[in-house]
Amino acid sequence: MATTKRTPFVPCVAHHPGITLGEKLEELGMSVKEFAIRTSKPEKTINAILRGSSSITSDMAVAFENVTAIPARFWIQKQQNYNEYVSRLKREELLVSSLAWSKLFPIAAMTTLGWLPKVRTAIEKVDALFRFFAVSSVSAWEDYYYNQQLKVAFRISLSQTKNPHAISAWLRQGELQAQSMSVTATYSPDLLRNKIVEMKALVPDASANMPVELQRICGECGIKLVFTKCLPKAPISGSTRWIQNEPCVQLSGRYKSQDRFWFTFFHEIGHILLHGKKDIFLEDIEYSGSEAEKEKEADSFATDTLIDRRLFAVFVAEGDFSRASIKSFARYCGTSPSIIVGRLQHMGKLRYDVHNELKVNIELSY
């Protein structure tokens, strides 16, 4: 959910305390040199304060109190008010300079989904984005999502992706969802492997309760499973990463058919088992080198987990891909006909317009 809209307090005007000090010295008929001597402060420092180019410190405020009979807390508060006023003005300038950056995000969709609060002005939209990402500036966002300055938390640069702004928003929402979720166990590879049979048993289940059950099983082996609606220009079906030392699988439900959903899910589980904590993996992104190899390994894991390779080879060799044969083989394997049809289509054994009536869609609750 979006955070509550907060409008920062910006005072209409706040004067530097040097103005008040100058008025007081005039009232007292005291020169700058005399005031400097009485307060044991350098004359150039007092002049800098009177010009508004230097600040009154707590130590100075106490010294000023004795000479002016004005409490130290007055001078301290006056300086704090002025400092905040100047900072707020600088902040407004930064927000204005960030307007072009904010227009690169699908703000309307993010607002509709409740990720961002409803605001009226363009400046408020920029501020809402900064709060959503928990950053203070565009450069901070770039350091995190582009330049990998915090490699212990975000080990992938989005600079080479086609739509980095929308993708970063999708990832951030998943991070927020994961942070609000608790799991009932500490992750271990053995615990996960023991739970895979239980996960596979849900494959034929097309009920609305299946995603909830899958989240429960994942939680029992220390994995956070979150469902995050796909954003425009962020065609991501899934992601795997470690958030606060806990594995997190994020699925968008971009592909609703059982075969695509479960392949993506077990692909992400493969990353957790095979590749550990070192990387972030985004599905539907083209990789090269060692990252491409890891994607292939996760593909093989998902393929072998969903259907026994040897049994499927025998089924394919027999060549009977009728509806009845597919349904019978699915029952024998304890899986869904959607999985079999999807695999045959992917292999080119069936056209993509054949037996789609056997494919079941999965609806996720976001």
Are residue 209 and residue 310 in the same domain, yes or no? Answer: yes
Domain span holding position 168: 101-176
Residue found by looking up tokens 């425009």 in the block = 232
Are residue 195 and residue 336 in the same domain, yes or no? Answer: yes
Are residue 222 and residue 344 in the same domain, yes or no? Answer: yes
Tell me, yes or no, whether 54 lies in a domain: yes
Question: In this structure, what CATH number is given to the domain that contains residue 50?
Answer: 1.10.260.40
For helices 164-179 and 122-133, give the axis angle rounded to 10 degrees. 50
Are residue 293 and residue 156 in the same domain, yes or no? Answer: no
Tell me, yes or no, whether 286 lies in a domain: yes
Tokens of 33: 């040199």
Tell me, yes or no, whether 313 lies in a domain: yes
Q: How much of the chain is in helix, strand and coil states, percent to nearest 5?
A: 55, 5, 40
| Digitized pLDDT (tens) for each residue of the chain, 366 residues in all | 455 455 554 556 889 999 999 999 999 999 999 999 999 999 999 999 999 999 999 999 999 999 999 999 999 999 999 999 999 889 999 999 999 999 999 999 999 999 999 999 999 999 999 999 999 999 999 888 877 543 434 445 575 577 889 989 999 999 999 999 999 899 999 999 999 999 999 999 988 899 999 999 999 999 999 999 989 888 888 899 888 889 999 999 888 899 999 999 999 999 999 987 766 777 666 766 777 888 899 999 999 999 999 999 999 999 999 999 999 999 999 999 999 999 999 999 999 999 999 999 998 887
Tell me, yes or no, whether 303 lies in a domain: yes
d(CA 204, CA 342): 14
Domain boundary among 176, 197, 227: 176
Domain boundary among 161, 176, 191: 176
Are residue 150 and residue 163 in the same domain, yes or no? Answer: yes
Are residue 110 and residue 90 in the same domain, yes or no? Answer: no
Are residue 219 and residue 264 in the same domain, yes or no? Answer: yes
- Side-chain half-sphere exposure of 113, counting CA atoms within 13 A: 18
